[in-house]
Amino acid sequence: MAAEFAIPPTSLLSDGLVILAAAGIVIPLFARFRITPVIGFILVGVLVGPFGLGSAVAQFPWLHYVTISDPHRLEPFAEFGIVLLLFSVGLELSFKRLWAMRAAVFGLGAKELVGCALLIALVLMALGNSLATAAALGLALALSSTALVLRIADQNTPVGRAALAMLLFEDIALVPILFLLGALGRDGAGNDIAALLRTLGLGAVVMIVLLIGGRFVLPRLFDQAARTKSPELFFAVSLLVVILASLATGAAGLSPILGALVAGLLIAETEYNGEVEHMIAPFKGLALGVFLLTVGMGLDLSVVWARLGEVLLATALVLGAKALVTAVLLRMSGARLSTSTETGILLASPSETTLIVLGAAQAGKLIAPSAGQFWEIVTAIGLTVTPILAIGGRWLARRVDIAGHLQGNDTLADEHAIVVGCGRVGRLVAEMLRVHGQAYVAIDIDPELVKAARADGLTARYADAGRSDALERLGLADATAVIFTMDEPVAVQRHVRRLRLAYPDLPIIARARDASHAAALYRAGASHAVPETLESSLQLSEAVLVDLGVAMGPVIASIHEKRDELRAQIMEEGHLHQKPALRTSVRDRTA
């Protein structure tokens, strides 16, 4: 009877045990040393994979329970992790922002992919490879890792935006690349071109259906799910939308991750985007962990050791070629030297989709199996060192930044407010602080906005609020307040939550798009959230009443009363019954 309930050592349950144990060890251990867990998951994959401890299972059968003997069994979960990653990227974007990026996606992105592929192919041809083989390897190795780069880079920074544009083009170009390799391998260019056109046409129809249908269906669908007040149903609906969109684009012959991106964009236009992102985050992280484990499992250390010199040389050449081409193209497009340098190094590694393209090249007999295995090892090593490249690129970017004057030489007061954003709203806030004699510093990641603010006499510096040490260098510990003025709802919410956890008494004032966003900011820990829609309505009401002859005093009093009433309603919606305690300044305490 007991034998009927025995768990086979190679079952998914034992694989799940290894994955959860890896997450439980890697995440806290690497977080303690402030190292990205990406490296940890890959190293654990090497350890528990068929080329690590898995190779000793025959001598020690108990190792079945702490190893994963069949990495291919985890590939669907790894793919799901990448799908969830692109879905979360879509949640942080908007159609307006994506439309604004179209020139970078199809201009800079195309140049980056073609330029990297061409340089790598030329080097390979110089080493004796045929044109078809060099082209296949060039296209495969020119791709960069969407899963890792978007996890590392902040999309609200110039580096993150440039990387996102190029990665989006690479994901779009994956299908034509696979068709091209099929044509080169079978000498059936005519048939493959016709199939490619059919796929692109069907894909365009599917995308249009998703965009139009999603705009009408998703708000109603999530509204009904929210009415049930069931987190389980809300989460199930979120996953349903992601999976259906991914299956639709996959069935059309496009990449499933494009469907996930579109699903995220559609949900980002609804008021439920923050809640969906919060619910998806833990599962996205765990699924990406599975993907990284599969990368580590593909590293055969014996082969690496036997061909160590060749592997290291090939990896260095690929990384160097891609970093050089990307940095030069960005610099030619007008990006700062620091941005070009950091982005080039960040995108230097091959991609998880490189493995897919290498498989297609082998199937078309464009490269030999032994060569395919060699470049798969190079790809796995490149993925492993991506976090290290990111750190090195950030360090180098800080040292080659020739725009040091943007940091400002003006001395900050011991106590000052920090205004995040030098746009229209941020500059007005800074101007009012200056008029009333309040010390402040305004920051932005756009150097042109910083220059314009400083030209107007404002105290402005170039800094990225998304980096943990940026605000600390500006005296965050002694700041009188932090004011978020940029129109980036998801980023502001994330910054507010992080600051509130680190500084419980810090006054945090944030710009909100509407009442729902303001409620979400209150839940995140904002002291005050100011919705633009309500403020414009109050100002319009004030102008109308005064023009109709109502006395200014009663009008202002009623406007203040209505503002307090609306603020109380928003805070109640945000499940915040009283505002967080505010830090008092030294002047207030000594008054």
Give the pLDDT of residue 315.
93
* Rounded Cα–Cα distance for residues 509 and 443 (Å): 15
Give the pLDDT of residue 327.
93
**H or E stretch at 529:** strand 528-531
Would you say 522 and 529 are in contact if contact means Cβ atoms under 8 Å apart? Answer: yes
R_g of the chain, CA atoms, integer Å: 27
Q: With 0-12 CB in 10 A as exposed, 13-18 as middle and 19+ as buried, what is 536?
A: exposed
* Rounded Cα–Cα distance for residues 85 and 80 (Å): 9
pTM of the model: 0.59
| Positions of the chain with pLDDT lower than 70, given as ranges | 1-12, 27, 31, 33-36, 56-58, 69, 93-94, 97, 156, 182-193, 195-196, 401-414, 468-469, 535-539, 542, 545, 555, 571-591
* Rounded Cα–Cα distance for residues 14 and 389 (Å): 34
Give the pLDDT of residue 190.
47
DSSP characters for 279-324?
Answer: HHHHHHHHHHHHHHHHHHHT--HHHHHHTHHHHHHHHHHHHHHHHH
Q: Which domains does the chain have, with CATH numbers?
A: 70-400 (1.20.1530.20), 409-590 (3.40.50.720)
* Rounded Cα–Cα distance for residues 520 and 513 (Å): 11
Q: Is 549 helix (H, G, I), strand (E, B) or coil?
A: coil
